[in-house]
Amino acid sequence: MCVDDELLNTYLDDELQQPWKTQVQEHLGYCNACRQRLEQLRVLHQKVQDSVISDEEIKMHQDRVFAYFEKTRFPSANKKQHIFRKKIQVRLVPALITSAAAFVVVFIGAFVLFGTSVQQGQEILPGIAA
């Protein structure tokens, strides 16, 4: 039975306690699949360690990112925000869909009830128009 990835990662991080560490080492001695998986995990760990961004690289872009967030997500106290702006953005689409659906229902109902020809009403809504 092969060793799972969690145990291999713990072994790779050198956090595995002694009774299990010896067993994993013995298993790796005769299991090629686990040795290959351990090597893949070593490569992955190395890539992750190599991709860590240094503090200097973060500092270069930090001010620009903070300025963007302050400008777009946290409006300043000096700038007066329109009261309807958020309400319009949030509630406009459902209101338009509801209005369009109500208009269609009223229009078809009026056409069926007050139409000049019963045959036209039967063609549009069969079984409803009399």
Q: Please answer whether residues 16 and 10 qualify as being in contact, where contact means their C-beta atoms are separated by less than 8 angstroms.
A: yes
Host H or E run for residue 60 = helix 55-72
pLDDT of 43-65, one tens digit each?
A: 998 998 888 888 888 888 888 88
* Average pLDDT value for the chain: 79
Q: Please answer whether residues 7 and 15 qualify as being in contact, where contact means their C-beta atoms are separated by less than 8 angstroms.
A: no
Structure tokens at 68: 């963007």
Structure tokens at 117: 């020809």
pLDDT of 20-41, one tens digit each?
A: 888 888 888 888 888 899 899 8
Residue with tokens 């001010």: 63
